[in-house]
A and B are shown apart, each in its own frame.
Chain A
Amino acid sequence: MPVVFVPAILRALIFVDRVDVDCATVGEIIDELEGRFPGVAAILVVDDDMAPGIAVSINDQVSQMGLMEPVPVDAEVHFLPAISGG
């Protein structure tokens, strides 16, 4: 099942480095995390979309579909700073 790598911004709520989640989309993952670690959604989601400044990486690919992004069963999920180019 997918594994979420816990970023520093969530360490105050999630006290482990990684969390296994049996979910098919990013949105489902966040709902699952919220259920287990209340307060996570408030950090990761704003107005039914990813919060400003947060990019979601599925394996090494930055998601383009936000909460709707499908997550393969063996994927790593990382919540990273959104990076701007020049």
Chain B
Amino acid sequence: MTTVERSPYRVIGTRPIRHDGLDKVTGRARYANDVNIPGHLTARLLRSPHTHARILSIDTSRAEALAGVHAVVTAADMPELSALLREQTEGSLVNLGLLSRNLLAREKAMYRGHAVAAVAADNASIADAALALIDIKYEVLPPILDALEAMKPGAPIVIDELRTNVNSTFRGGGLRAPDEEASHSNVATTFTMEIGDIANGFELADIILERDYHTSAAHQGYIEPQSATAFWSSDGLLTIWTSTQGPFAIRDQTALMLKLPAGQVKVIPAEIGGGFGAKLNVTIEPIVARLSQKCGKPVKMTISRTEVFESMGPASPAYVHLKMGVTNEGRITAADARLIFEAGAVPGSPVAGAANCMYTPYEIPNARVEGIDVVVNKPKTLSYRAPGAPSGAFAVEQMIDEFCEQLSMDPIEFRLKNAAQPGSRRVNGVANANMDFEKTLDVARATEHWQSPLNGEYRGRGVAAGFWGNATGPASSIAGLLPGGRFAYIEGSADIGGTRTTSAMQFAEAMGILAEDVRPSVADTDSIGFTSNTGGSSVTFKQGWAAFEAAKDMTSKLTERAARMWKVEPDRVAYEFGAVTSLDDPAKKLTIAEIAARQNGTGGPIIAHATVVPGGVAGGFAVHIVDVEVDPETGKVDVLRYTAVQDAGTAIHPGYVEGQMQGAVAQGVGWALNEEYVYDKDGRMENASFLDYRMPTSLDLPLIDAVIVESPNPGHPFGVRGVGEAAFVPPLAAVANAVSHALGVRMLSLPMNPRRLLEVLTEMAST
């Protein structure tokens, strides 16, 4: 069901068949593993069997001597990059020195599965045999596997020279310089944000609650493992084919890690089988490139699902200590939170994302949040849709639910009463501008789902809200007039969710033509201007801006060409809906197809382009309602009904928006009810397969009702807001609230799997 107020558009808001759909459902789409350069070698990684160990020596001579082995690479073969905090200059979120040590261990193996060497061989069997011939001497060290334990005095130190960065905004963390004092700590970064007077705020409260919450690690669930092929041409150009959300990030990071000029690297993004934030930065590309450089042959690496689980990090586990106060009338007076996020072995958890979003839907005049990033001996955690925000919402939205129970207040009414208004300040100090939370709540309240009763034992209904800020960045596009009057539309954004079609639709709308008359494609990094990552729910916004500007350029060039053909001034012709008309003789018209047929003879190919760095981003709110039933004998939770309401701006392709919302719900339900990384005491992951790491399938979920609230963003020519991440913020809390109501026991920890619920049910039965 789609709620629209008015549609002034001809293309936007329709549901054309996606341009990449046929290839994807027939198996013709080419993913990174489908790249087969003649003569390519197969690469494999040797991984540490130890959870924490100093690397004393690596002897690759026996492996190199094996017939069929063409190259072996360790950290010694990679340029050493500074990991000193004060020497980080590139990128805004990544410490390249630490990232390169994560790709290939240098001084230490910091988690079980940490790559320590790489082999390129004629085939996988030889590569695997070669791995067994690499001799590594380790000094095994005690591991630390939990953030709270890692913060205790005397805990094993993961990174010896880690500098605790106090009040820092640099997520990547780093090492201390020789003249700086050692921290001897696993705390990489801390910061505090505060507004108002916390103490006074709690003085004003009639009810104060204080709780500890915990969210588990969760796999992003991309079906396609990381895969990359690298090949050096004889003139020194490095070409990389890879599965990535950010071809330009891969280009720039690979160049930095191999100390190459960025112009010497070209990245060709393949079709991508999911990313969700885990494929924003380099993972295996620099290693594959170095192997190829060493042996002079193309090299391809595709990692296994077990390797994905054991080395490509999940969403951060998080501890949230939250204290909030409300009046008897249901007004929030104060909120104070301490967020402890596990970064894995390398700093960089999304604790700041949680801090920035958790309170944002509400007007809280006195608020504080302390964020702490902690390293442990596990794979470096990676982004996962609205990174950090779901964990923050898990706490805030559940505590609000408890306040509503105590006050006997409707949970949507409570949220309406406290909804942030334009002009109110967030905890980071920014004044709210464009806020449509109330509208989203109103729509949720009016749904048939919310209005209908839920009856039955062990059944419960939960509601939760969430916010994500959305992002923007540089985006580039090129449009070319094709014979027949169609357009090639080329963009720089990797397509992980259908954005080539939404870009094509926005171009078509601006041109007044059909979406089917636009042929979109994603270019490599040599063929298009810099375009920032496909992440942060930025692409439909920024690439749509580029499409709009490219269309303006194209219509201008079409009018110029028609004017030349008619030998008049350009201001005597006008373009509209696929044709150019003479203003002096309205019967005189040239269609795009007619211009296209004569373009080479009238001045050459007609090409338009645009590069934008657009502002005007607007965040998005989501409100989710879910009904569950708990089986008292097994502890299994059935999701009976789910409604996701979201302020999505203008829905360019409503089917895509609904898909983003429904997919987010599926992922959120899985995280809430079952997903976690299970480690034994030695740091070995015990459920490193999709058989044991159980994600929901279509059989586990009801049809998800996606309700789109269209509040156009005034900062975009078509009113676009990002949609992919706001949808992922509420599900953890919504399901927890529902299960809590079903059982009458508050669920403060994830996942709420059958084993844990049976423990709760057993304890309930005994009291």
A57-B430 contact in complex given A84-B536, A85-B537, A86-B385, C-beta closer than 8 Å: yes
A9 touches B168 (CB 8 A): yes
For A64, list chain B residues within 8 Å (CB): 472-474, 613-615
Provided the pairs A83-B469, A86-B386 are in contact, do residues A60 and B432 lie with their beta carbons within 8 angstroms? Answer: yes
Contact status A84-B172, CB under 8 Å? no
**CB nearest to B538 among chain A residues:** A85
User: Can you name the residue of chain B whose Cβ is closest to the Cβ of A6?
Assistant: B429
**A8 contacts chain B at the CB level, 8 A cutoff:** yes
Q: How far is the CA of A82 from the CA of B386 in the complex (A)?
A: 13
| Closest chain A CB from B84 CB (angstroms) | 12
Residues of B within 8 A of A59 (CB): 430-431, 433
Q: Which residues of A contact B353 (CB under 8 A)?
A: 83-84
Residue B298 is within 8 A (CB to CB) of chain A in the complex: no
**Within A25-71, which residues are at the interface with B (CB < 8 Å)?**
46-47, 50-55, 57, 59-65
Q: Which residues of B contact A63 (CB under 8 A)?
A: 615
Q: Which of B90, B193, B387, B617 contacts A86 (CB 8 A)?
A: B387
- B290 in the interface (beta carbon within 8 A): no
CA distance A53 to B167 in the complex (A): 12
* A51 / chain B contacts, CB cutoff of 8 Å: 170
Interface residues of B, count at CB 8 A: 57
Q: Chain A residue with minimal CB distance to B537?
A: A85
Q: In the complex, are the beta carbons of B535 and A84 less than 8 A apart?
A: yes
Q: Is the CB of A86 within 8 A of B168?
A: no
Q: Whole-angstrom distance between the alpha carbons of A61 and B434 in the complex? A: 11
> Do A52 and B725 touch across chains, with their CB atoms under 8 A apart?
no
User: Complex Cα distance A80/B167, Å?
Assistant: 11
Q: Which residue of A lies closest to B422 (CB)?
A: A60
Evaluate contact between B430 and A81: CB separation under 8 angstroms: no
CB pair B472 A60 closer than 8 Å = no
Contact assessment for B431 and A76 in the assembled complex, using a CB-CB cutoff below 8 Å: yes
The smallest C-beta distance from B637 to any residue of chain A, in angstroms, reads: 25
Residues of B within 8 A of A60 (CB): 430-434
Residue ID in chain A nearest B220 by CB atoms: A86
A83 in contact with B430 (CB, 8 Å):
no
Look across to chain B and name the residue whose beta carbon is closest to the beta carbon of A64. Answer: B613
Chain B residues numbered 575-621 whose CB sits less than 8 Å from any CB in chain A: 613-617
- Complex Cα gap A5–B352 (Å): 18
A82 closest partner in B (C-beta): B92
Q: How many residues of A contact B (CB 8 A)?
A: 31
A10, closest chain B residue (CB) = B167
B536 touches A81 (CB 8 A): no
Residues on B with C-beta less than 8 A from A61 are: 615-617, 715
**Distance in Å from the Cβ of A58 to the closest Cβ of chain B?**
8
How far is B356's CA from A8's CA once the two chains are assembled, in angstroms?
14
Asked whether A86 and B384 contact (CB < 8 A) given A52-B90, A55-B92, A64-B614, the answer is yes
B539: shortest Cβ distance to chain A, in Å? 10
Do B538 and A82 have beta carbons less than 8 Å apart?
Answer: no
In the complex, residue of chain B having the shortest beta-carbon distance to the beta carbon of A63:
B615
- Closest residue of A by beta carbon distance from B383: A86
B264 within 8 A of A: no
A54 nearest in chain B by CB position: B169
Known A55-B92, A64-B614, A84-B350; judge A78-B429 contact (CB<8 A): yes
> Shortest Cβ distance from B450 into chain A, in angstroms?
29
What is the minimal beta-carbon distance from A25 to any residue of chain B, in angstroms?
14
Say whether B237 faces chain A, with CB atoms less than 8 Å apart.
no
- Decide: A86 near B169, CB < 8 A? Known: A8-B193, A52-B90: no
Q: Is the CB of A82 within 8 A of B93?
A: yes
- Asked if B616 contacts A86 (CB within 8 A), the reply is no
Does B156 make an interface contact (CB < 8 A)?
no
Q: Which chain B positions have C-beta within 8 A of A57?
A: 430
A52 touches B170 (CB 8 A): yes
| B749 beta carbon closer than 8 Å to chain A | no
Q: How far is the CA of A85 from the CA of B383 in the complex (A)?
A: 7
Q: How far is the CA of A52 from the CA of B83 in the complex (A)?
A: 13
B residues in contact with A84, CB < 8 Å: 93, 171, 277, 280, 350, 353, 383, 387, 535-536
A83→B725 CA distance, assembly (Å): 13
Tell me whether A62 and B617 are in contact in the complex, defined as CB-CB below 8 angstroms, given that A52-B89, A84-B93 are known contacts. yes
Residues of A within 8 Å of B191, CB to CB, are 8-9, 81
Q: Give bound CA distance, A65 to B473, whole Å.
A: 10
State whether A78 touches B430 (Cβ < 8 A): yes
Residues of chain A within 8 A of B90, CB atoms compared: 52
**A39, chain B: closest CB distance, angstroms:** 14
Q: Check A52–B428 contact: CB distance below 8 A.
A: no
Instruction: Give complex CA distance A28, B352 in Å.
Output: 27
Taking the closest CB of chain A, its distance from the CB of B360, in whole angstroms, is 11
A4 to chain B, nearest CB (A): 10
Contact B92 A62 (CB under 8 A): no
Residue ID in chain A nearest B434 by CB atoms: A60
Query: What would 16 more interface pairs be, CB under 8 Å, given A8-B191, A53-B93?
Result: A8-B192, A52-B90, A52-B170, A54-B169, A57-B430, A59-B433, A61-B617, A81-B356, A83-B352, A84-B93, A84-B277, A84-B535, A85-B386, A85-B533, A85-B537, A86-B536
A–B Cβ pairs within 8 angstroms, 9 of them: A8-B192, A61-B715, A62-B615, A62-B617, A65-B613, A80-B428, A82-B169, A86-B385, A86-B386
Top 8 A-B pairs, shortest CB-CB distance: A85-B536, A86-B277, A53-B170, A86-B383, A81-B352, A81-B169, A82-B92, A86-B385
